[in-house]
Amino acid sequence: MLQPGTKAPDFELPDQDGVTHTLGEYRGSKVVLYFYSKDNTQGCTKQACGFAELMPQIRERGAVVLGVSKDSVASHKRFEERYGLPFTLLSDPELTAIKAYEAWGEKKLYGKVSMGVIRTTYLIDEQGTIVAAHGKVKAATNPQDTLEELDRIAEAGRA
């Protein structure tokens, strides 16, 4: 996992509408960049809906949310529409950003080892530097934990 203080790798990925995004276009805003396994699965849906519920508070803190998985643009569009997700979902089927952010690796499920996306969340500051990194996050609590992390970072900046 990339460590706080590291310059966040740039990327160029399409969103659920096919519009290409880069990290650079978010300079001046805090970015919650989270990596998840698959659209419309139980844990990933819980995580995405948690971020959706907290979007007003996240926006108040000057942050945007970007979710990244290897699902297709069309899959992301269905996911967005089904749950009314008010944030950008980025499609990374080639695993370029997923690997650049070290969110790809061995996973164990019921004793079976496979390669896949490791649920990971990064907070990136307005200058494009990683200020917090969390790997193997819990889907249900990650959105609230992220909001609290945004508050801790803001508090530390005022101290």
- Confidence (pLDDT) at 51: 98
Among all residues, which ones are annotated catalytic?
44
Q: Note the pTM of the prediction, 2 decimals.
A: 0.95
pLDDT at position 57, please?
97
pLDDT for the residue numbered 108: 81
pLDDT, residue 14, reads 98
State residue 153's pLDDT score: 86
> What's the CATH superfamily of 14-158?
Glutaredoxin (3.40.30.10)
User: How many whole angstroms separate alpha carbon 47 and alpha carbon 150?
Assistant: 17
Please state, in angstroms and rounded to a whole number, the distance separating the CA atoms of residues 109 and 43. 14
Six token digits for residue 128: 């494009």
Q: What one-letter code names the amino acid at 46?
A: K
Residue segments in the chain with a per-residue pLDDT below the cut of 50 = none
Tell me what pLDDT residue 9 has: 98
pLDDT of residue 29: 95
Q: Which helix (H) or strand (E) holds 131?
A: strand 130-135
Query: What Å distances lie between residue 47 and 19, 60, 156, CA to CA?
Result: 23, 20, 26
Phi, psi of 31 (to 5 degrees): -125, 125
pLDDT value for 109? 77
- pLDDT value at position 80? 98
